[in-house]
Structures are given as C-alpha cells and as structure tokens.
Amino acid sequence: MTDEEFTFEVPATTAHLGPGFGVLGLALDVKFTVTVRKSDVDDFVVERLGDSVGTALDLRHDAILRGLRAARDRWKIKMPTGLAITVEGRAPRGCGLGTNSADFAAGIGTALRYAKTQPTADEALELVVELGSDPGHGAAALIGGLAIGVHEAIDAPTPKFRVLREPIHHEWRLAIVAPQVQTTTADVHRVVPASLAHGIVSRTSGRLVGLLRALATGDEDLLGYCLVDESHVPFRLGVAPGMSKAIDAAREAGAAGATISGHGPALVALTTDESKCEAIEAAMVAAFEAEGVETSTRICQTDGTGALPG
C-alpha cells in the first residue's frame, strides 16, 4: 500500500510522426501533475484545476477514473474506497496531443501505485488500447520518451503489444501549432483509406526505420527524408484549412521536417537548432492566419516521464 498522499506526472504526447502511424509516440515536456489523497468519502473523485471542460465531465465517463477502475479490476488491486484526485495542468484537448491517452495512463498509474506486484508495460499498454487509446500515444504516456507499441499478433482475440523504448537525441526541439478548429476522432479516422498498395507499405516501412535512426542521432537531413508519409498524412491535411501550407512554411523557416501530430489537426515541426524554433512557430502561425484560422502554440522538448510507477 502506498502513502496516504502521492504525486506523479503524466506527459502529453505526439504520435504517428509520419511513417510511424499507429505505433510511434513521443512524450513531451508538457505535463500534468496528478495528486492522489485518501478520502473519507467512499468514492473516487477527480478535480481538474483550471480546466473547465474537464471539470464538467460526467465522472462516469472521466478517462482517469475509467483507467483507474479498469486497472483495479484487471489486476485485482486492493485500493481505498475513497480517493480525491487533483489534476493540475493540461495540454490542449482534441488536437492530437494525446490528452485522452494521458488520462487513461494517469488512472492506470494511480491504481498501480497501490499494487503489490506490477504488470508489465506491455500489459499496461494492452489495457490502455482496450480503453480506446492509440498505441503510440498510449506507449509514450505510460513509459515516457520515444516509445513504440508493437502489435504482437493479428489474430489474437484482444490486441497484444510489446512496448519498446527507443533512444532520442537530446537536442531535438518541437514547435507545435494547433489550429483552433472543431474535429472529432471519427472525422480524422474516416478520411484514412482502409487499405494501402504494397508499394506504399514498403516505402513506409523503410522510412520508419530511417526516422528512428534520425531521431536517435539528431540527423536533420535523414529526418527530413524519412518524415514523408503516404499512409495517413495526405488524407488528413484537409481536416483544417492551411495545414499543408503550414507544413511547407515550417520547412522554409528551417525545420528539419514537419507533419501532423497524432490524429491532428495540430502540426509538429522538428529541429535540433533551438534558435530556429520561434521563426518556425511564427511561420506556421502565419500560414494558418492567412486562411483565417486561429492557433495555439507550444515549443517543447522530449521528456522521459511516464505514468507508470518507477
């Protein structure tokens, strides 16, 4: 049993990153803090400080509590009957920064801090995906850093995964620009084709291998060559006006490459030259403003924090 009160952090994430569709995730230093206190009230309650949307959620559907209860039941964890969970900080919702996956991971992380024995990261990811997370976002939220959720088998009754932690060069910086448009997960899934030509699959596989090497070594030329995608990015560029122009603008301003963050519509541009970040960010914002689209922005680094204990 853990202490009467404890605190941990959970990162926002960017996922897919071009050819890494459905498998690749990267934890960001945009984090929220979870503080858990034992309560005299026999219930689990979440309070999201400064988050009017989150505070208004029906607690039956709150993703943190769904993750907590699912983990408790899955691994038969003995927990207090009452917990007060306070959340401080939040990445923007609904734009491709993994907020729902982070909430599931936070709930699982809370429950596992009461567990006598810990499930593997593979098992934790399987639960996150069952709850509705993308494997890339989920893996990065759980373990931090650059993470891959590898599908283990295609004929299993429930999805099976292996979680891999990959090296990433410390100099990478990410400029994230999120257009303020209303989209849903269904919208961005609907535009992606159900099948791909073999040629696209082979090119995507090669680019993913190259992208991992570029991220590990800080090779900007290789990253720009390999961040190109044919499997999902071209179909999602119409989700918000100005997305294609903003990607082009980021490259012209000095980014090694730029692509859609998660399911979008946020865009992420990468560089190892910190001095270029503001110009890259400004160029992307200007491209959206030319289309009459307002944005929110953030310049980030990668982060090794994940929701799992230890």
State the Rg of the chain over Cα: 19
Taking the CA atoms of 265, 262, 7 and 169 in sequence, report the sign of the dihedral they define: negative
Q: Band of the pLDDT at 83, cuts 50, 70, 90?
A: very high
Locate 298 and state its tokens: 């953030």
Q: Band of the pLDDT at 58, cuts 50, 70, 90?
A: low
% the chain with pLDDT above 70: 93
pLDDT average, residue stretch 45-55: 72
Report the pLDDT value the prediction gives residue 94, as an integer from 0 to 100. Answer: 80
Unique residue bearing structure tokens 């897919």: 16
141-200: pLDDT as tens digits: 999 999 999 998 777 778 899 999 999 999 999 999 999 987 655 566 677 767 778 899
Residue 240 backbone zone (phi > 0: left; psi -120 to 50: alpha; other: beta): beta
Locate 303 and state its tokens: 């982060």
Range with the largest mean pLDDT of 60-69, 83-92, 112-121, 176-185: 112-121
Q: Is residue 252 pLDDT above 60, yes or no?
A: yes
DSSP states of 101-159 = HHHHHHHHHHHHTT-SSPPPHHHHHHHHHHHT--HHHHHHHHH-SEEEEEE--SS-SS-
Give the residue, 307 or 51, on which the prediction is more confident: 307
Report the pLDDT value the prediction gives residue 254, as an integer from 0 to 100. Answer: 98
Give the residue, 102 or 4, on which the prediction is more confident: 102
269-302: pLDDT as tens digits: 999 999 999 999 999 999 999 999 999 999 999 9
**DSSP code of 302?**
B
% the chain with pLDDT above 90: 80
DSSP states of 203-220 = HHHHHHHHHHHHHHHT-H
The three-state secondary structure class of 183 is coil
**Among the ranges given (85-89, 174-178, 180-184, 215-219), the one the predictor scored with the smallest mean pLDDT:** 180-184
Report the pLDDT value the prediction gives residue 266, as an integer from 0 to 100. Answer: 96
Q: Band of the pLDDT at 35, cuts 50, 70, 90?
A: very high
* CA dist., res. 301 & res. 288, Å (int): 23
Domains, the chain, in order of start with CATH, read: 5-166 (3.30.230.10), 173-300 (3.30.70.890)
Cβ-based neighbours of 17, under 8 Å, separated by 6 or more: 24, 26, 211, 227, 259, 268
User: Count of CB atoms within 10 A of residue 138's CB?
Assistant: 33
**DSSP code of 41?**
S
Report yes or no: 276 and 266 within 8 Å, Cβ to Cβ: no
Report the pLDDT value the prediction gives residue 185, as an integer from 0 to 100. Answer: 59
Identify the bridge partners of residue 242 per DSSP, sorted by sequence position.
none
